[in-house]
Amino acid sequence: MEQIVTSLDPAPGALAAGAGAAAKQIPPAAVARLTLYLRALTTLLSEGVDRVSSESLAEASGVSSSTLRKDLSYVGSYGTRGVGYEVQYLNQHIAAALGLTRDWKVAIVGAGNLGKALARYGGFESRGFDIVAILDADQMVIGSEVGWLRVSDAADLEAVLHRTGANMVVLALPAAVAQSVCDRVVAAGVRSILSFAPVMLQVPDGVNLRKVDMATELQILAYHAQRAQDPDDGGGAAAGDAQGLVSRF
């Protein structure tokens, strides 16, 4: 079975760098940080900034300058001492290394509150992701409009994926139906799936599945917040409280 990762985990394996550094593999932790650099560079471009130093880019991304320089070396990007990095070139270079210069067409399965919110989010398009379909099994929802999309019948999932050319699928579904829908998505040929379903899904080798678990994220935040409130506790009481919080979910 393919290793299943959560929003707290790096993706399994490593990402191959772009053409400038084709022989290198990018460690998963560096891949995650590259997305931070890309976001900071996009902001700089919108502000009309042409060049940026490693120190400034690192500060904007929340990392050390040495970490940033090492990460950028994986994609074959090296700044010029005293000059820094050309913002537009570096932005394009990182985007290419992350695969964001390809066309990514995303279908959302589940038109509840979460699915609708995701479909309406305008930030996906600016980052290279085109939401091409939203589907649901509820006859009261099918045919309604979400943004510019019309909700399709989940019974026609395979046909919709084929018609739209979707190569990524987001599952915003209840746990009871998530695995069966995931199986249909995989059988339809989609190999990249993001799941918000509160259940661990099983997928075959060759399918990349990422799980976003908001409850887990909140539990971890609660743990760290408790530790911050009781710094002299040594973590014992905080860990106990965190365990109690977990047991109540």
- Specify the pLDDT at position 14: 45
- State whether the Cα torsion 173-175-180-182 is positive or negative: positive
Tell me phi and psi for residue 231, to 5 degrees: -65, -25
Q: What integer is the mean pLDDT of 166-170?
A: 96
Long-range contacts of 182-191 (CB under 8 A, 24+ apart): 182/209, 184/157, 184/158, 185/109, 185/157, 185/161, 187/158, 188/157, 188/158, 188/161, 188/162, 189/161, 190/107, 190/161, 190/166, 191/167
Average pLDDT over residues 25-52: 90
Average pLDDT over residues 72-78: 82
pLDDT tens per residue, range 40-72: 998 999 899 999 998 999 999 999 989 999 999
Query: What mean pLDDT is predicted for residues 104-132?
Result: 91
For position 223, what pLDDT does the model report? Answer: 86
Q: How many CB atoms lie within 10 A of CB 237?
A: 14
DSSP string, 70-139: HHHHHTT--PBTTTBEEHHHHHHHHHHHTTTTS-EEEEEE--SHHHHHHHH-THHHHTTEEEEEEEES-T
Mean pLDDT for 105-127 is 92
Binning pLDDT at 50, 70 and 90, where does residue 220 land?
A: confident
Q: What is the mean pLDDT of residues 164-179?
A: 96
- Residue 109: pLDDT above 80? yes
Classify residue 228 as exposed, middle or buried by CB count within 10 Å of its CB (0-12, 13-18, 19+): exposed
Answer yes or no: are the C-beta atoms of 158 and 168 closer than 8 Å: no
The contacts of residue 37 (CB under 8 Å, 6+ apart) are 57, 61, 68, 71, 72, 90, 94
pTM: 0.67
Q: What is the pLDDT at residue 233?
A: 56
Q: What mean pLDDT do residues 77-82 have?
A: 69
Is the alpha carbon torsion for 172, 113, 105, 87 positive or negative? negative
Res 7: pLDDT: 38
Type of residue at 106: V
Residue 152 gets which letter from DSSP? E
Cα separation of 191 and 139, whole Å? 28
**Amino acid 21: pLDDT:** 39
